[in-house]
Amino acid sequence: MSIARTGLLLAALTGLFLAIGYMVGGQGGMMIALLVAVAMNGFAYWNSDRMVLSMYGAQPVDRTSAPGLVSIVERLSARAGIPMPAVYVIDEAQPNAFATGRDPQHASVAATTGLLDLLSPQEVEGVMAHELAHVKNRDTLIMTITATFAGAIGMLANFGMLFGATRNDDGEGGHPFGFVGGIIAAIVAPLAAMLVQMAISRTREYAADQEGARICGNPLWLANALERLEQGAQHIPNAAAQSHPATAHLFIVNPLAGGSGDNLFSTHPAMANRVGALRALAASMGMTWDVRAQQQPSPQQPQTGSGPWGGAPRRRGPWG
């Protein structure tokens, strides 16, 4: 059902983009809009992962610098039946994580140092399983396409308003709907595109929660992690995310300040709904106890190989 809904929403977003092109320049404008969409999505397809990782200063890690994290991702990748993605760590106090890449063969997963310091090994496993579910379901490509379309619609709508203003009194020039139509397009179209983009994002988050819970084998690990991540994200600002709000939908929890409701303007489902669904899944699997791990990595006591993660010490915690 979520796949069908995602397909319908993507179709709606594409139709909206073409409609704005028609409003700007008639049939010719619609064809130009189509060509622009193909070009922009082609660029995003090949370059979006590197761009996002660079935005957040993500650094690649391996078995030497972060053996615990890399081992978790390797084990979960095998369980999910996908190639091992590249693993990155972001030196960021806000606990969060995301996945990116055009397909499972060219994917990357990234976790912040704040997440690695805050969560237990089991909770980290739940989070990484969620991100690998995004990779397995090709959500990273879907969200890249929707973000590209949403941005292009806003650009076209603004151009349409300016183009409409050139329409003369004889009705010559400008786009078919004139200045008023241009204003309507500039206001309504970006809003509609944003709503569709956010609806797709929420749909894919629910699906990744469910698939991730199955990959790691225990929905409660992810449920507990989500609760703790939301609390951390609400109290610790993420300056890079504030500078690039269009990337907020990539993260496992919203890195921006916002309300807790599952509403039209939210990039993520309400946390209570996500956790409730995971706990219901755990109950259906016969898991009714709290499995939060007892051992937590401590940023005040970095490990050097004997702790749950291993690896050389770093400025914040044991992950390298």
Q: Which residues pair with 100 in a beta bridge?
A: 108
Give the Cα separation of 240 and 250 in Å (integer): 13
Beta strands in the chain (DSSP E): 59-60, 86-90, 97-101, 107-112
Beta-carbon contacts of residue 129 (< 8 Å; ≥ 6 apart): 76, 80, 212, 213, 215, 216, 221, 222
Concatenated DSSP letters for 2-56?
Answer: HHHHHHHHHHHHHHHHHHHHHHHHHHHHHHHHHHHHHHHHHHHHHHHHHHHHHHT
One-letter identity of residue 80: A
Give the Cα separation of 33 and 49 in Å (integer): 24
Closest CA to 121 of 293, 317, 314, 313: 293
Residue identified by tokens 């761009």 is: 51
Give the Cα separation of 175 and 189 in Å (integer): 15
Annotation marks residue 131 as catalytic? yes
Closest CA to 253 of 82, 80, 60, 123: 123
Residue identified by tokens 């996945």 is: 99
Summary count for the chain: helices (H), strands (E): 9, 4
| pLDDT score for 116 | 97
| pLDDT score for 16 | 74
Give the Cα separation of 303 and 300 in Å (integer): 10
CA dihedral angle for residue 309, residue 310, residue 314, residue 315, rounded to 10 degrees: 40
CA 134, distance to chain mean position in Å, is: 9
| pLDDT score for 215 | 97
Q: If the chain, 320 residues long, is cut into consecutive pieces of 10 residues, what is the mean pLDDT of each piece?
A: 64 74 72 76 78 93 96 97 97 96 93 97 97 92 74 69 51 52 65 72 89 96 96 93 85 76 65 94 80 41 38 42
Domain segments of the chain as ranges: 2-284
**Terminus-to-terminus CA distance in the chain, angstroms?**
41
Catalytic residue among 92, 125, 131, 227: 131
- Specify whether the CB–CB gap between 249 and 147 falls below 8 A: yes
Total-model pTM: 0.76
In 3-state terms, what secondary structure has residue 88?
Answer: strand
CA distances in angstroms from 192 to 3, 9, 187, 196, listed in the order given: 21, 11, 9, 6
Residue identified by tokens 């300016």 is: 162
Closest CA to 150 of 237, 45, 264, 20: 20
